[in-house]
Chain A
């Protein structure tokens, strides 16, 4: 077999830059070890990590004793610290699992008990009158109230982990799909991508829905991932006054999801979703009329005040499920070094609550490496990543001061989300050099509001042109092959009559 001479040598290669890969990268950057992350997309977090509900679950839904239960509870309880280090938006808004019928109350009690066994704090069953007080627009006979359940911004989280890892020395190769893996020695791997090959002693496979295929590249055929799509509606911020908590139905675990729920997002929108549907294609993120109609109907059953006036966008995420369609339900996370291929750690079936559990999972993976390698700590590690300061969230005094310090804060580019030129420029100049429009959107929130870029898209394009001398073909929505433009218009035509 002939391959390119390895030109990039690392101690460890992480395959996949979702929240799991980025958490592991950041956790490893606390130590002296040369790490790189290979990601096929043009930015981090474009897999399920950027396409979920953004809930930091408390941990009462998972079977006691499972990794899912343990890591979820740990992840929930340690999230405040990560949020502080990475300056993430994070709010403990609490969750209500609402029983609509008397016979569902039994299940609420079971969940409460399960949660307490798992170590979840402050769970409480509340009555109908209490529900009305907490959520005037809602009806139910009883509810399980979990005050520890929180929300964050999942893409913001993933991006911050990656950027902080980058600042602490981890290298990221974007647009770099892993196509082959050669084991030249039992503990030496060569990872092949279209433009270069990479060498390392350790491999971490956290490729989400593709983790089974990545394992297959080294001859491990023990894993199988079934993609299972969840579709969402995003509602306008005007809908945010309708609910104050996360609102879930009583789950039917055989469905393999938590049921269609209403989720206030950290940015002030409301999500309806996700649906739960096994599909063939691992990257078919399309949304369907059938499901959208169903979501709408389910949401209205909960909250009759919801109307289609509030729709601003929709999206879908794909769960990496180990349980096949005919079985459904949840199967525990699998985190292991397969005996046939030592030095490669596979993370399989990291579905919900994977976002919540990312930090404990990363700690576990690093502990496995440490046991083999004996890691020494990196004295220069800086856990703090202040990220981009949001002008819109500051008080008036601060706003005044910011504009005085830098007049770019006085130029509002995105009117819906009130994002200033300063923030857009910071987003454009990100440490990962990801410059697709979607990358700028996720970092700055520009183009995310009700006009969906109608006002600011052309302004952001101007900034890219000024700053990086973008030609028409350089403007990409989401990486190569997604050009916004086909060139300049024919010259000289200034009036069409």
Chain B
């Protein structure tokens, strides 16, 4: 039995909730959010620190508070949602298979919004040598165990990677009475937001070692120590700098990867740099009618941008359903000098478009330029750029008219 829908949103985190509410406000009646957890809200539920909402609401909320603002809207707008339900298959013709306690369900939908969030990179992906004892956690799992389940995971902690979740957890663990011995970062600069270094490490006298990594893990049963080393330009350990640090816990905060197993089942083309789908200005993937936003598309630094992105794609979904999206142009967008990636990767509709991207390295007084061939289209100077911070810039339809190619780069 096939259940028909106009729009199904996979994932009830910040992105899915923002997309759903925006879709409803644009008049889409027949939509459904499918969420595998027991409540809506996604990863925000375990982020009990504050600092969420500064852009969107000009006010600082905790993660659960921020999520609640959207959950309230979902309730007000009477948007239906299925909880405890996992989408286990998605086909290119937009048939979803969903498993829950009531059974296995099939949905045929006109449009899909992929908002599955992301997962954490693990030790295996880094292939850190050594033993495999208890006491090695990714930062997000540690956050979940502590904040949601009220457990304590260790006493003497080393954190590898300076991503935001790791920084937040450094503070959290310190406040819970653990000794956070150090945070190690293999790059010559931190990968989290500057404010988090100040508020979570320096305020608590937790040392940050740049250009350092873990080269060995000891302990057969529970972690006993890690061996750390300084690294050279290529990230190789310098043998004369090896040092053994006794600890019972190693926290990994070494990156997030967009969750795209379903996208691959449907045959969606992924961008090897972002790990998310290749999209056009409406967040539509190479498969018509399948859209994506949030951490499933690209890993975001702050949730406000996730919400904005979710809201943005709704207009494309609404158009797709009402009049259809017909391509006017086919323009590819390139990341040039100093830019790690840029989204959307392709433009088709000559619309006002918000581009989001990240720089490759931190820098001061950098000028960002949008160019076509050698012509300048737009230029903006930043006092500071940082790979940790996503940059969003809008170009109008006018600015985009008549281009045959488009490149974003930092001016040297």
| A interface, CB within 8 angstroms of B | 233-234, 283, 285-289, 292, 308, 311-315, 396, 399-400, 403-404, 407-408, 410-412, 415-416, 418, 450-455, 457-458, 461-462, 472, 476-490, 493-497
CB pair B152–A489 under 8 Å, yes or no, is: yes
Contacts A289-B129, A454-B140, A495-B49; A412 near B120 (Cβ below 8 A): no
Tell me if B's interface is mostly helix, strand, loop or mixed. mixed
CB pair A314–B103 under 8 Å, yes or no, is: no
Contacts A313-B124, A412-B36, A452-B124; A477 near B133 (Cβ below 8 A): yes
Q: In the complex, A489 Cα to B146 Cα: how many Å?
A: 7
CB neighbours of A458 from chain B (8 A):
141, 144-145, 148-149
List 18 A–B pairs whose Cβ atoms lie within 8 Å, in order of A's numbering: A292-B127, A313-B122, A314-B124, A396-B104, A407-B102, A415-B36, A418-B88, A461-B149, A476-B134, A485-B145, A485-B152, A486-B155, A487-B151, A488-B152, A490-B177, A494-B48, A495-B50, A497-B50
CB neighbours of B140 from chain A (8 A):
454
Render B169-183 as a binary contact track against A, CB cut-off 8 A, 1 for contact: 001100111000000
CB neighbours of A404 from chain B (8 A):
103
Chain A: minimal CB distance from B67 (Å): 15
* Extra A-B contacts (19), CB below 8 Å, given A234-B124, A403-B101: A285-B131, A285-B132, A286-B216, A289-B216, A308-B127, A312-B125, A403-B103, A410-B104, A415-B261, A451-B120, A454-B119, A472-B152, A483-B134, A484-B153, A485-B151, A488-B150, A489-B150, A494-B48, A496-B171
Q: In the complex, A497 Cα to B199 Cα: how many Å?
A: 10
Q: Does B154 contact A (CB under 8 A)?
A: yes
Closest residue of A by beta carbon distance from B200? A496
Contacts A285-B131, A311-B125, A461-B149; A489 near B119 (Cβ below 8 A): no
Q: Does B340 contact A (CB under 8 A)?
A: no
CB neighbours of B361 from chain A (8 A):
none
Chain A: minimal CB distance from B5 (Å): 20
Render B203-242 as a binary contact track against A, CB cut-off 8 A, 1 for contact: 0000000000001111011100000000000000100000
Q: In the complex, A81 Cα to B13 Cα: how many Å?
A: 49
Q: In the complex, A485 Cα to B176 Cα: how many Å?
A: 13
Contacts A289-B129, A412-B86; A454 near B102 (Cβ below 8 A): no
The 4 closest A-B pairs by CB, nearest first: A313-B124, A477-B134, A482-B221, A407-B101
Closest residue of B by beta carbon distance from A238? B264
Q: In the complex, A131 Cα to B49 Cα: how many Å?
A: 58
CB neighbours of A311 from chain B (8 A):
124-125, 127
CB neighbours of A454 from chain B (8 A):
119-120, 122, 138, 140-141
CB pair B99–A496 under 8 Å, yes or no, is: no
Closest residue of B by beta carbon distance from A398? B104
CB neighbours of B261 from chain A (8 A):
415-416
CB pair A486–B153 under 8 Å, yes or no, is: yes
Q: In the complex, A410 Cα to B102 Cα: how many Å?
A: 7
Closest residue of A by beta carbon distance from B98? A410
Q: In the complex, A234 Cα to B122 Cα: how many Å?
A: 13
Q: Does B267 contact A (CB under 8 A)?
A: no
Chain B: minimal CB distance from A125 (Å): 36
CB neighbors of A among B170-202 (8 A):
171-172, 175-177
CB neighbours of B176 from chain A (8 A):
489-490, 493
Chain B: minimal CB distance from A350 (Å): 23
CB neighbours of A484 from chain B (8 A):
134-135, 153
Q: In the complex, A418 Cα to B131 Cα: how many Å?
A: 27
CB pair B221–A496 under 8 Å, yes or no, is: no
Q: In the complex, A271 Cα to B152 Cα: how many Å?
A: 35
CB neighbours of A479 from chain B (8 A):
221
| B interface, CB within 8 angstroms of A | 36, 48-50, 62, 84, 86, 88, 97, 99-104, 119-120, 122-125, 127, 129-135, 138, 140-141, 144-146, 148-155, 171-172, 175-177, 215-218, 220-222, 237, 248, 261
CB neighbours of B102 from chain A (8 A):
403, 407, 410
Closest residue of B by beta carbon distance from A481? B221
Q: In the complex, A410 Cα to B175 Cα: how many Å?
A: 39
- Interchain CB contact (< 8 A) of A493 among B88, B97, B175, B218: B175
Chain B: minimal CB distance from A268 (Å): 13
Q: In the complex, A493 Cα to B101 Cα: how many Å?
A: 35
CB pair A486–B86 under 8 Å, yes or no, is: no
CB pair B36–A288 under 8 Å, yes or no, is: no
CB neighbours of A493 from chain B (8 A):
175-176
Q: In the complex, A489 Cα to B102 Cα: how many Å?
A: 36
Closest residue of B by beta carbon distance from A313? B124
Closest residue of A by beta carbon distance from B272? A309
Q: In the complex, A416 Cα to B222 Cα: how many Å?
A: 26
Contacts A283-B220, A457-B141; A486 near B152 (Cβ below 8 A): yes
CB pair A489–B151 under 8 Å, yes or no, is: yes
Q: In the complex, A399 Cα to B103 Cα: how many Å?
A: 8
The CB with the most chain B CB atoms within 10 A, among A233, A453, A478, A486, is that of: A486
Chain B: minimal CB distance from A455 (Å): 7
Q: In the complex, A311 Cα to B257 Cα: how many Å?
A: 14
The CB with the most chain A CB atoms within 10 A, among B84, B104, B217, is that of: B104
CB neighbours of B146 from chain A (8 A):
489
